[in-house]
């Protein structure tokens, strides 16, 4: 199995894209601006999008993706997420006002888009890949995902604040090799991180100190101007952990 980082920034601009992870060539985890890095023929091969939550930086490319390749696919693009996430996409995005409702177009019996609810702890088998929704603690209601190839696993937290349930779920993954975990704010913005249910260096250090598993940790979802200071502070606080800055174009084979 191969996972490619199309985007992992907490903001967008030249050289920066918001969260989107490509699993092999047919599954997306989140669909931020990073999807724009794909060619049209590559987008046509996407069959599933596993969404962590409904915030725009994680879903903004779904409308453009389905508009670009819907006619060429022949079968619907399936979007998986919490019921509240899918309800928000239907009500606020695919509502025939902001964007056409492709869950009923071009025909109700042959739509280009389908929503499949998933609950925390539930798994979906996609070929040989098993994706499991992980607990998360975020202001919009959210999950992370664990991707299991059979040989080893990669976990992606999505957006989250401190979450004991997430740590407990990670401890049950016996073959956990990689952990992609957010740190959205600098330490001096700790109060803002807590209010918005994100992490900052001291919060992630506290979370990782409780985690018995020893995966290779990659830090994601940072604002570009803050990345260097956030990484420096994390490495100072947890020098005994293997921690790396996640970057666009990074690939994992597991």
Extract the runs of DSSP E, i.e. beta strands, from the chain: 2-7, 20-23, 27-29, 48-50, 77-81, 106-107, 110-111, 113-117, 123-126, 129-135, 143-148, 153-156, 176-182, 216-220, 243-245, 251-253
| pLDDT tens per residue, range 130-159 | 999 999 999 999 999 999 999 999 999 999
Q: Which of 248, 253, 254, 252 lies closest to 14, judged by CA? A: 248
- Under DSSP, the state recorded for 119 is -
| pLDDT tens per residue, range 167-182 | 999 999 999 999 999 9
Is 8 in a helix, a strand, or coil? coil
Tokens encoding 165 = 């349930």
**Taking a C-beta distance cutoff of 8 angstroms, is the pair 142, 158 a contact?**
yes
Give the number of residues written for the chain. Answer: 254
Residue numbers of the domain that contains 219: 2-253
User: pTM for the complete prediction?
Assistant: 0.97
Residue 183 has pLDDT above 90, yes or no: yes
pLDDT of residue 13: 85
CA distance linking residue 156 with residue 210, whole number of Å: 18
- Residue 108: band (very low, low, confident or very high) from pLDDT cuts 50, 70, 90: very high
Express as a percent the part of the chain with pLDDT over 70. 100
- Residue 59: band (very low, low, confident or very high) from pLDDT cuts 50, 70, 90: very high
The CATH number given to whatever domain includes residue 45 is 3.60.15.10
State the chain's mean pLDDT as an integer: 97
β-pair partners for 179:
155, 217
Residue 10 has pLDDT above 90, yes or no: yes
Express as a percent the part of the chain with pLDDT over 90. 97
Which positions ≥6 away from 182 have C-beta within 8 Å?
157, 158, 159, 160, 198, 199, 219, 220, 221
**Number of compact structural domains in the chain:** 1
Residue 15 has pLDDT above 90, yes or no: no
Tokens encoding 249 = 């174009």
For strands 216-220 and 243-245, give the pairing: parallel
| pLDDT tens per residue, range 195-233 | 999 999 999 999 999 999 999 999 999 998 999 999 999
């Amino acid at each position: 199995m191969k996972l490619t980082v199309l985007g992992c920034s907490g903001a967008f601009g030249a050289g920066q894209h918001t969260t989107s992870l490509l699993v092999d060539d047919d599954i997306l985890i989140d669909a931020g601006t990073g999807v724009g890095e794909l060619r049209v023929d590559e987008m046509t091969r996407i069959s599933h999008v596993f969404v962590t939550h409904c915030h725009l930086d994680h879903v903004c490319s779904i409308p453009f993706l389905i508009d670009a390749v819907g006619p060429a696919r022949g079968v619907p693009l399936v979007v998986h997420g919490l019921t509240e996430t899918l309800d928000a996409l239907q009500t606020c995005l695919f509502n025939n006002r902001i964007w056409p409702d492709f869950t009923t177009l071009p025909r109700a019996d042959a739509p280009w888009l389908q929503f499949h609810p998933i609950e925390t702890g539930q798994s979906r088998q996609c070929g040989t890949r098993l994706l499991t929704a992980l607990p998360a603690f975020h202001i919009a209601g959210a999950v992370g995902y664990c991707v299991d190839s059979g040989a080893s696993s990669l976990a992606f937290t999505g957006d989250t604040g401190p979450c004991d349930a997430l740590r407990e779920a990670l401890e049950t993954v016996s073959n956990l090799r990689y952990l992609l975990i957010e740190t959205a704010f600098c330490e001096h913005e700790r109060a803002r991180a807590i209010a918005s249910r994100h992490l900052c260096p001291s919060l992630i250090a506290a979370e990782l100190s409780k985690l018995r598993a020893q995966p290779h940790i990659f830090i994601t979802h940072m604002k570009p101007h803050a990345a260097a200071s956030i990484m420096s502070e994390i490495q100072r606080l947890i020098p005994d952990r293997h921690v790396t800055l996640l970057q666009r174009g990074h690939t994992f084979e597991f």
